[in-house]
Structure 1
Amino acid sequence: MIKIENLSNPKEFWHYFIEISKIPRCSGNEQRIREYIKQESENLGFKTEIDKVGNLIVSIPSKSENTIPLIIQSHLDMVCEKNENIMHDFSVDPLKLREIKIDGERWITAEGTSLGADNGVGLANSLALMKKISSKELEFDNLDFTIVFTVNEEEGLFGAFQIENDILKKEYLINLDCMSDETFVIGCVGGFYTIVDIKLERIELAEINKDLIPVKIYIKGLAGGHSGLDINKGRGNAIKILAKILYKLNKEFEIYIDVIKGGDNFNAIPRESWATLFLNESKEKLTQYLDELELQINKRLETFNDNLEIIIEDLDKSQLSNKIIEPKLQQRILSTLYLLPHGPILIHPKLDNFLHSSTNFAIINTKTSRIKIQYLHRSFDKQISSEVTEKIKALLHLGGLKSKVKPAGGYGIWDPDFTSKLLKTSIKCYTELNCEEPKIRAMHAGLECGVFADKCPELEMITMGPNVEACHSPDERLQVKSVEKFWKIFISVLKELSKIKN
């Protein structure tokens, strides 16, 4: 049991963070969390409205003639990831929070599931701010607050895309979706989705006319993580590792594949994957071969917090289809999967040690007549992402596969503005509080600010927040002391903004 009194200040933050952790809020299932925040906002005396797509807008009008219009923005949903052995229904079950220590530092995490600190910290900070304004503990007479809670950020920034432009016609916007208390984010890459369909041909298992062993090969133990922020850290992709294993098995043994499956979210590096297949060899030989392969792969991954496990599960023939992928087609598919891109594409030519473009091989699913693959490319240049899609298409063509490759939308690029008044104010406040300057960076991740920048180019924006690590994975954690550090910065920026004369 986590006790609020043992945590950092403000206590209002922890009260709300714990409360919202009890409310299911996977992307597309934001009704209950929206209703909770709406009711709490109204209880505090503030006007609320819900737009046509479910975004919640709370208004706290200025008490001054010298009005400074400011948006505080966060998103309602979270990425719902769990370990395979964890019994947790994200549609109804509350998260089980616990405190851990890493190198003497206190962190809050969840048992076997993602924590939802992305963007639960934004929700909790917004609610704590409203609570203190309502009680008059904090006063910002000149600030005209619009506090925006958007829906379905994690699956494509849907709420941000659909928000009315008039809501964004303000002076400043502070987005509370940053993962580092020493960093201000002032730009982000755009995201571009690609869907691949590969046509399958199947044959009757009886046509093989051999005594085959049915097995499931399961990949687990990988760290995963955010497919933008962690894509350059060398972590293993469970789909790519499975593709490598199946490619090598297909050369070493006779295998006949039924299903290949892995990944379940564009925004997460796949941590787990599996394939069901028939094997024309003893299980002992397969186990020996995979044990050696596991050692080889782990040797490469050992510095990246991965611990690959290759698990072989015995199956009954009744658990698999009577039809398998046609063997020659299977060989071409495995060769292509082995070669398909994943990871960093280009380092930024102007920003030191910053990733410009990347791609995440996010999801693979097998149906009776097709294999479906889903990609998310990220870049500061839309043309580069288009070229990655073209290369995927060319590779499928070279593999002789009947396939369709199509772009599936995306979100905007937020170009950094180093001259903005909001940035200068934030740097001043941070430096005065911490006796050093903050880090100023752009984000290799999709932020709603990228969409807002398209809708309202004149809006000055910044992203800030406390320390969150391993977001979008069951290792996600929020640093306890960082919550207080960030709160002081956040409130200092608001106080400084309220002094600005328009």
Structure 2
Amino acid sequence: MNKEIKELEPKVVWTNFTDLNAVPRPSKKEGRVIAFMMGFGRSLGLETFTDTVGNVIIRKPASKGMEDRKMVTLQSHLDMVHQKNATVDFDFDTQGISMYVDGDWVRAKGTTLGADNGMGVAAIMALLQQTDIPHPPLEALFTIDEETGMTGAFGLKEGVLQGEILLNLDTEEDDEIDIGCAGGIDVTAERSYDEKPREQGDIGFEITVKGLNGGHSGIDIHKGLGNANKIMNRLLYVGLAYNMRIAVLEGGGLRNAIPRESWCSMNIYKTLESPFLEAFKKTAHEIKSELRTMEPALSITISPCKASEKVMEPDVQSKTIKAILAAHNGVYAMSASIPDLVETSNNIAKVEVRKGEIRIGCLTRSSVESAKIDQAHALKSVFELANFKVSFSGSYPGWNPNTDSEILNITKKVYTDLFKESPKVIACHAGLECGILGQNYPDMDMVSFGPTIMGAHSPDERISISSVQKFWRFLLAVLQQTPKK
């Protein structure tokens, strides 16, 4: 099936994307893709090396007549988000992505596609390969672990890069030029509890929430999509009134993905079965009605199962459910300076209850550093009231817009000349590596752009074929117009 992808135009880009997607590359497990990129660069006879953390750097001299131009650093990340539908049997550690064409879109079979940021990587590979494309001196920077900590960007030391201009190819709307992004911080709440034996007369039920769209916890956070953890918690809150006791709870996955599924095993007294089920079904109907526009495929089911032998102690269970109910999820504040930009948000990404341990993982984002920390402290306060230990990790800065940027002016002009309309110059609510890279390279002039990708960080991820053609044409034109030294 992937063979047909290589026949799409521009073939050099799609062939590289297909070859890249054959290499397993989940975040924090990039060893094989690093080796793949090292072999690629060396096969072209280009200067190729890794830095101390595993980022791959490849340099290519300018084409004839463009030796006097400033060196351009082209940057994309090697790792991809690994999400799949529950019914799909797939191992991201060992399998390549299976793709297919759906009209103007390329999709994956039940998994994330890896177009974020694999298409940026593929375009850079094509530029390094081609001998008939005019370009300034090029420096390709392929970072690792962007999706789960940005440790590649954080680990890139001062003095490694030589470029004066950076083109980040990790934006997901082809009519946008990005000049700023949000920072983020991971908020983790943990505590233990005593497991209690099942009580006489207990019966068991399994609750499943699935069928949600999911999506990028930054770019899609304002769309009103359902969060499986919040939906499940709302159902469990109803169960508190009927002496429900949780045995196991598993919801969500990666912090940067809006959770699509949640599952819970719980016990209840047989004598309370009828009123509990009536209240449960009423609440499930209300939730589905509220989300019917954005989440038409939402499924909420409850089915009998064997009663669990051990369950949560009631006091801890009550405090946990109430803390998750009170914890903010979604947009917290909109930007006062940039129209329609989410300033601050939080994603309750993962909830785990099992064998006496509770772990709740959130990702808080903001384009204002102080607001990011304030939101993190608000979450910390909520969970500490329920006797959780709360920790912060993985904090990364935002990228402050520079509206006087030379490369911004160039890209705006090139876009307008090519497509006869002005691009949207934006800041986004996602995390881009530009803010981190700018700490060690403060004088580097940066913009970000890319092809149209929908449903990133979910199995519905797809990339527009016509948009890739537009993106490639734009990228080539920008390189021809880069400034002289």
TM-score (norm 1): 0.92
Q: Write out aligned runs for 1:31-430 (5 A).
A: 31-62=31-62, 66-101=68-103, 106-132=104-130, 136-140=131-135, 143-205=136-198, 208=199, 210-251=200-241, 253-281=242-270, 288-317=278-307, 320=308, 322-398=309-385, 401-430=386-415
Alpha-carbon offset, residue 405 of structure 1: 1.4
Alpha-carbon offset, residue 339 of structure 1: 1.4
Q: Is the CA contact 2:78–2:118 (under 8 Å) kept in the aligned structure 1? A: yes
Provide Cα deviations, 1:49-87, integer angstroms capped at 9, x if missing partner: 012211111011236652412100111000000000110
Aligned AA (2:237)? Y
Aligned AA (2:120)? G
Provide closer, same or farther for how the CA distance between residues 396 and 6 of structure 1 changes in structure 2, counting only shifts above 3 A: closer
Provide Cα deviations, 1:318-342, integer angstroms capped at 9, x if missing partner: xx4x332112332222222211110
For structure 1, the residue ranges without an aligned partner over 5 or more in a row are none
C-alpha distance in structure 2 between counterparts of 1:352 and 1:227, whole Å: 20
C-alpha distance in structure 1 between counterparts of 2:444 and 2:296, whole Å: 41
Alpha-carbon offset, residue 447 of structure 1: 0.6
Aligned residues, how many?
Answer: 482
Alpha-carbon offset, residue 316 of structure 1: 2.9
Provide closer, same or farther for how the CA distance between residues 476 and 94 of structure 1 changes in structure 2, counting only shifts above 3 A: same
Alpha-carbon offset, residue 99 of structure 1: 1.4
Q: Is the CA contact 1:412–1:453 (under 8 Å) kept in the aligned structure 2? A: no
C-alpha distance in structure 1 between counterparts of 2:299 and 2:69, whole Å: 58
SS in 1 for 2:206: strand
SS in 2 for 1:483: helix
Aligned AA (1:17)? F
Structure 1 range deviating more: 239-248 or 163-172: 163-172
Structure 1 range deviating more: 190-199 or 486-495: 190-199
Alpha-carbon offset, residue 204 of structure 1: 2.5
Structure 1 vs Structure 2 CA RMSD? 1.9
Alpha-carbon offset, residue 229 of structure 1: 0.3
Aligned AA (1:137)? D
Alpha-carbon offset, residue 9 of structure 1: 2.5
Q: Write out aligned runs for 1:399-478 (5 A).
A: 401-478=386-463
Alpha-carbon offset, residue 113 of structure 1: 0.5
Alpha-carbon offset, residue 480 of structure 1: 0.7
Alpha-carbon offset, residue 199 of structure 1: 3.4
Provide Cα deviations, 1:261-284, integer angstroms capped at 9, x if missing partner: 211101101111111111213767
C-alpha distance in structure 1 between counterparts of 2:382 and 2:312, whole Å: 20
C-alpha distance in structure 1 between counterparts of 2:25 and 2:101, whole Å: 22
Alpha-carbon offset, residue 221 of structure 1: 0.6
Alpha-carbon offset, residue 289 of structure 1: 4.2
Q: Is the CA contact 2:5–2:15 (under 8 Å) kept in the aligned structure 1? A: no
Equivalent in 466, 484, 492 of residue 469 of structure 2: 484
Provide Cα deviations, 1:3-55, integer angstroms capped at 9, x if missing partner: 55895521111111111121111111212222222222222221210122111
Q: Is the CA contact 1:294–1:309 (under 8 Å) kept in the aligned structure 2? A: no
SS in 2 for 1:54: coil
For structure 2, the residue ranges without an aligned partner over 5 or more in a row are none
Aligned AA (1:128)? A
SS in 2 for 1:165: coil
SS in 1 for 2:291: helix
Aligned AA (1:198)? R
Aligned AA (1:82)? K
Aligned AA (1:44)? L
C-alpha distance in structure 1 between counterparts of 2:384 and 2:8, whole Å: 57
Alpha-carbon offset, residue 369 of structure 1: 3.2
Alpha-carbon offset, residue 302 of structure 1: 1.7
